[in-house]
Amino acid sequence: MFRSQSFLDRVRKTTTLYLIILNIGFYFLQNITQFLYSTDILLVYGAKINAFILSGQLWRLITPIFLHGSLVHIGFNMYALYSIGPSLERRYGKQPFLLLYFFGGLFGNIFSFIFSANISLGSSTAIFGLIAAQAVYIYKNRLLLGSAANGLLRNVLVMIAINLMLGLSPGIDNWGHMGGLVGGFLFAWFAGPSYGISENVFGENIIVRENKREALVIGGLLILAAALTFLGFLVR
C-alpha cells in the first residue's frame, strides 16, 4: 500500500532540514531585531549591498542566502527547498549537496553585484542552483533514466523558464537567479553524480558511479568566483 510522505518523513536526517531550520532561525532573529531596535540588524550587516561590498565586506556575497524580506518570501523559498532538496541530496550526498547550495548562492550574489544596483537577499539564488543541478543530473544520466528522461528534463526547463519570467516582476533579483543557475550548473556538470554501465567479472551489466575530481572543481569555481568579483569591482 502506498502512502504519502509527511514533512518529517521527507526531510528526516537530511542537510536540507538543517538548512530550512537555519533559514527560519535567521528570519526569526531578523524580526526580533526589527521589534527591539526598529532595524533589521541582520539585513543591515548581511544583505547584498553593493556599496558595502566595494568597501571590502565580501561576506555579503554569501550571507544573503540566509536572510529574507517577508514571511511570503521565506515561505516560497523554504517550500522550494523542501520540494527539491531531499531527493537531490540523496543523489549527491550531504557534503557535495552543501557545496552545490553554496556555489549557487555565491554565484547568484556575484551576478547580482555585477549587474544590479539593488539591495538583495534571499535563498532563491542557492535554490536556482539546485534546480540547475536537477536538470544536469537528468541530462547526464538520461540513458539510465530511459524514456522518462525527456519528460523530466522538459519539466525542469519549463520550471526554470516560468520562474525567470516571474523574476521580471519589480522587486525580484533575476540577475541573482541567473547567477544561481550558472553556479549550480557548473558544479553539477563537473562534480555532480553521473553513472555508466560496465561489466563485472561474471559478464553481467552493472551500474557504476563515475569518479569526480571534486577538489579540483571547487578550486576552479572559487577562482572563477574571485575573477567575477574582481570584474564587479571594475564595473562598479
Q: Residue 52: which residues within 8 A CB-CB, separation 6 or more?
A: 60
Q: How far apart are CA 110 and CA 116, in angstroms?
A: 10
pLDDT at 210 over 70: no
Residues 52-76 pLDDT 10s: 999 999 999 999 999 999 999 999 9
Confidence bin at 139 (pLDDT 50/70/90): very high
Q: What percent of the chain has pLDDT over 70?
A: 88
At 109, which amino acid appears? N
Least confident of 102-106, 117-121, 196-200, 202-206: 202-206
For residue 48, the model assigns a pLDDT of 98
C-alpha cell at 172: 525580484
Report the candidate in 125, 111, 123, 129 with the shortest Cα–Cα distance to residue 66.
Answer: 123
Distances (CA, A) of 182 to 86, 105, 223: 21, 10, 15
Exposure string over 98-136, b if 16+ CB within 10 A, otherwise e: bbbbbbbbbbbbbbbbbebeebbbbbbbbbbbbbbbbbb
How high does pLDDT run on average in the chain?
A: 90
Residues 170-180 pLDDT 10s: 889 999 999 99
Kindly report the CATH number that applies to the domain delimited by 7-235: 1.20.1540.10
C-alpha cell at 181: 543557475
Residues 30-43 pLDDT 10s: 999 999 999 999 99
For residue 1, the model assigns a pLDDT of 39
pLDDT at 191 over 90: yes
For residue 194, the model assigns a pLDDT of 80
Which residues are identified as catalytic? 124, 177
Q: How far apart are CA 236 and CA 115, in angstroms?
A: 9
Integer distance in angstroms from the first to the last C-alpha of the chain?
59
The SS3 of residue 123 is coil
